[in-house]
Amino acid sequence: MKRREFIASAAALALLPMQAFALTTAQAEVLVNKVVVDINRVIASGKSLSGMIADFEAIFKRYGDVNIIARSALGADARRLSASQERAYVSAFTGYISRKYGKRFNEFVGGRIEVTGGRQVKSFFEVQATAILPGQSPFGVNFLVSDKSGKDLFFDMVIEGISLRLTEKSEIGAMLDKNRGNIDGLIADLKKAG
C-alpha cells in the first residue's frame, strides 16, 4: 500500500466512528428523559425555592448547551465579547435562566412532565413532552436537541409554544439596549435579574 493510499484509508476510517455515533431520535429521547426525570425529582423534592433553583441550574449545566444558548440570546453582540467577558456573561446568563425558569418550574409542584415522542427536524431533534399539572389542562414542553457541540445537549426549550432562546434573545437585547450596548452593564443586570 502506498503512503497516499494509507493516509486516505486512515482518514476514511477516522470518519466512520463520527458517522456511527451521530445523534438519533432515540438518543435525543434518552437525553430528554434524563432531563425530565431530574426535573420531576426536583419538583417533588419539597425543597425551598432557592434549593430548587440551585438544582435547576445544575440540570441546565448538565444537559443544556449553555454556551450556544447564551451566545444565541446575545445575538451578533456575542462576537465582540472578550474571553473574560464571555465567561462572565455565560455564568451570569446561566444564573439568570436558572432563577427565571426555576420559578416557573416551581409552579409544577404536584405535577409531572412526561416525554411523549421525538422526531428529526433538519439537523436537530425535537423531543415532545407534556406537562401535567393539577387543576390545569396539559401543555407542551418540547426540547430541541443536537450533538453539534460534541455532546448530546438541548439547545432550546419550548414551553406552550414559546421558545426559551427567542424569548431570551428579546429580553437580553432589551437589557443590552438599556445599558447602551455596554456588555459589563448587561452582565451586572443579569446577575440581579430572574
> For position 4, what pLDDT does the model report?
42
Given a cut of 50, whether residue 193 has pLDDT beyond it is yes
- Domain annotation covers residue 2: no
pLDDT at 110 over 70: yes
Task: Report pLDDT digits (tens) over 134-161.
Answer: 888 999 999 999 999 999 999 999 988 9
Which of 169, 192, 184 has the alpha carbon at shortest distance from 74?
Answer: 169
For residue 133, being part of any structural domain is answered with yes
Provide the CATH number for the domain around residue 142.
3.10.450.710
Would 7 be classed as within a structural domain? no
Asked, for residue 185, whether it belongs to a domain, the answer is yes
In a domain, 4, yes or no: no
Q: How far apart are CA 192 and CA 95, in angstroms?
A: 9
Residue 116 has pLDDT above 90, yes or no: yes
* Measured distance CA(22)–CA(28) in Å, rounded: 11
10 within some domain: no
Predicted confidence (pLDDT) per residue in 49-99, tens digit: 899 999 999 999 999 999 999 999 999 999 999 999 999 999 999 999 999
Distances (CA, A) of 62 to 58, 94, 110, 151: 6, 12, 24, 11
In a domain, 12, yes or no: no
Q: Which residue has the cell 418550574?
A: 105
Cα–chain center distance at 176: 21
Tell me if 137 is assigned to some domain: yes
Higher pLDDT, 14 or 71: 71
Phi, psi of 60 (to 5 degrees): -60, -45
- Of the given ranges (8-12, 99-103, 135-139, 184-188), which has the lowest mean pLDDT? 8-12
Residue range(s) defining the domain that contains residue 83 = 23-192
In the chain, how many domains are there? 1
Nearest CA among 67, 143, 54 for reference residue 102: 54
